[in-house]
Structure 1
Amino acid sequence: MEEALLITRLRNGSYSAFNTLYRMYAKRLYAYCLQFTKSAEESCDIVQETFVKLWENRNKLQDCPSIRPLLFAIAKNDLINAYKRRINSPAYEDYVCFQDALKDEDTHLHIEYQEFLDNVEKAIGKLSPSQQKVIRLSRFQNLSNKEIATQTGLSEQTVKNQLSIGLKKLRELITEFISLALPLLLVN
């Protein structure tokens, strides 16, 4: 069946059209998500969330020849949200793997991800100089609080406080960016 017809039927509430689209794209979305999450369980969750969002927003679908770009945009946004939740994790190796995996993706997704990274950099730039330095040393150079204290001349407790406050502000700024970008993704 032609995909454009499936999209029209889905918009009208057809469960069979939804199931057909699920069978067409679930495995591809899973493989895409697995590249970044390295977790079968998390990838399954993101695929399920993607299709739930598709179903919940089916009446907003535009006439288009393929649903693929929308599905992958929703999944990408869920991946970004998953990484945003992990920003407080010292295991920033995932961040590096995520960035490296994106280099292999098509140009469009890479550009969108680069825009996200630019916004993260802008958000870091809005922090105090001390918070910027502590976050960069902690999250990008993987230094411990003690190592950061030695390198910066701050007390270990000050480093801990600056890191905590800075990460909280950073999460708020990134959340603000995501909330501004999501409606644009759903419209396209």
Structure 2
Amino acid sequence: MGEYQEEKVNDTGRRQQEQFSLLFRQYEHRLYVFACNMVQSELLARDIIQDVFIKLWIKKDDLEEITNIEQYLYFMVRNKVIDVLRKLANDRKLRDEYFRNHQWQENKTIEIVEVKEFQLALAEAISHLPPQRRIIYQLSQINGMSREEIARELQLSPHTVKNQLTAALSTLRKFVSSHLRIF
């Protein structure tokens, strides 16, 4: 193969890669949301989108012949979803695994939201503590310092540190439990 032909082949390959990358960036998220709405599973939707783009890469030489790439991609995703759902319907083991994973994802999402709510409520409660009590709480609970270390650091008696820490924890428990239904 001549030098000119090699350059032409390399240019064509580079152009195909750039075109494919552009298509991926442009449509990946929208197709993912579309698939996720259909299968109700983030993990399964990711797999579907990955399979669709792999299939598209295999057909990269034919991309220029496709008149409406967006419609084509949505059609590919819809067909892949149908294939996946057919497999789930026909294979009990796959179906059980899908529903087990789907339930886990829902529970995990709820758990993440609850943790975020707790963290926000706790941060708000800490911000409402009197300044000295807030400092003592943060040194103890966030920095992991002992009462004696805090007393030395702040030049307070260990008894004062203990009382302030006990009061801070009590206030935080009440505040968080009144702001969150789960506690």
For the aligned pair, the TM-score class normalised by the smaller chain equals: 0.3 to 0.5
- More relative contact order, 1 or 2 (CA 8 Å, 6+ apart): 1
Give the structure with higher Rg (CA). 2
